[in-house]
Structure 1
Amino acid sequence: MSDDDLEFITPPNTLKAKVSIGGVGAVDESVIQRAEEAIAGMTDDYLEWVYQDISRIELACKELKGSQEDRGEKLRAVFHVAHDIKGQGGSFGFDLMTTIGNQMCRLIDKADVDDPHLIEVIDVHVDAMKLIIAARLKGDGGRDGELMLAGLQKVCEKILG
């Protein structure tokens, strides 16, 4: 079949007809506005929550360094906290926290739980998170965020082989 024989068929876009504009079931812009204001007002709460989450990861890492027992279970605890951080970061404008939390989760999923360097790599991720929060580095962090993520990615690639 040659390019001359091709026919592009554009399906009709009926989505607009399915969305209510005004009336029952319609999107109320004032509700969205109030929700966004409520989330913006919770940023200080988020900072407190994320500090607590980081402390929980640090405690789990300390336990991992101290004992080889239940290593998988302790790493799962780190995974769950990193997953929470991943889920909350973007909601409050800390996109780097979401990205790093996701990277930690993927690292824990893929890494050998007995790798002695795994805890060091997790520690580096935690240090990056602490830096982001201390600097109130929102969004993607610009060039600094890009460099930080590139460095963390290289560390992960090295440990994962």
Structure 2
Amino acid sequence: MAKAEKAKFIKAPQDLRQKAVNFHTGVDLTLTDEVRSRIEAVITESADAFSKDVLDKLREMRVQVKAAEDDALSRIFILTTISELAFDIKGMGGTFGYPLLSHLAKSLKDFITELALPNEAQLEVISIHVDAMYVVLAQGVRGTSDKLQKDLLDNLSIAVSKVRDPV
């Protein structure tokens, strides 16, 4: 049996740290009022872009659902688009402090994954998910109470289970 060797610790080169922090053009490690203001401006700008981007995705979801309501043959084609949009919203919600938005988008994506050709009731559940995400965004519902989040997601889960395709 081989004798155990002591673990060796390799110190990261200083140039790696400099690349990560970017000392030449990056932010200084000390937070002055000026640096803090610049960071806050970037965050505010990003949050505005987030809201617009999510709103655009929700509008596209509504267009897709409306098209499917009017044409039964197009229903199978909307699933991929709505699933991709929901996936994007799920990731963005978590990044910008909208956990309920992320949970709703995940619930929608999971529901769509199970569908083959959505019927009227299933389209309605998709639409309810989209409407709920609109409300969360419009009302700026960020950190929600666990009870509110749980109640909403539980009720959506009940709706999903009622219209789920038989396996």
Residues in 1 aligned to 2:15 and 2:111: alpha-carbon distance in whole angstroms: 46
Q: What's the RMSD between the two structures over aligned residues?
A: 3.0
Instruction: Report the counterpart of residue 152 of structure 1 in structure 2.
Output: 156
Q: Give the superposition deviation at 1:23.
A: 2.3
**Once the two structures are superposed, what CA deviation does each residue of 1:101-128 show, in whole Å capped at 9, x if it has no partner?**
1111111111242432111001110111
From 94, 97, 102, the counterpart of 1:93: 97
Alignment of structure 1 residues 8-27 onto 2, 5 Å: 17=9, 20=12, 23-26=14-17
Instruction: Report the counterpart of residue 58 of structure 1 in structure 2.
Output: 62
**Contact 2:89-2:105 at 8 Å conserved across structures:** yes
Q: Any stretches of 5+ residues in structure 1 without a counterpart?
A: 1-13
Q: Give the superposition deviation at 1:53.
A: 0.8
Instruction: Report the counterpart of residue 86 of structure 2 in structure 1.
Output: 82
From 113, 119, 123, the counterpart of 2:123: 119
Instruction: Report the counterpart of residue 9 of structure 1 in structure 2.
Output: none
Counterparts in 2 of 1:19 and 1:88: CA distance versus 1, 3 Å: farther
**Once the two structures are superposed, what CA deviation does each residue of 1:45-96 show, in whole Å capped at 9, x if it has no partner?**
1111111111100000000000012321122111111111112111111111
**Contact 2:57-2:85 at 8 Å conserved across structures:** yes
**Contact 1:39-1:92 at 8 Å conserved across structures:** no
The one-letter amino acid of 1:130's match is: Y
Q: Give the superposition deviation at 1:139.
A: 3.1
TM-score (norm 2): 0.73
Matched, 1:103 2:107: yes
Counterparts in 2 of 1:137 and 1:25: CA distance versus 1, 3 Å: same
The number of equivalent residue pairs is 146
From 135, 139, 163, the counterpart of 1:135: 139
Q: Any stretches of 5+ residues in structure 2 without a counterpart?
A: 1-6, 22-26
Residues in 2 aligned to 1:130 and 1:157: alpha-carbon distance in whole angstroms: 22
**Contact 1:86-1:101 at 8 Å conserved across structures:** yes
Instruction: Report the counterpart of residue 24 of structure 2 in structure 1.
Output: none
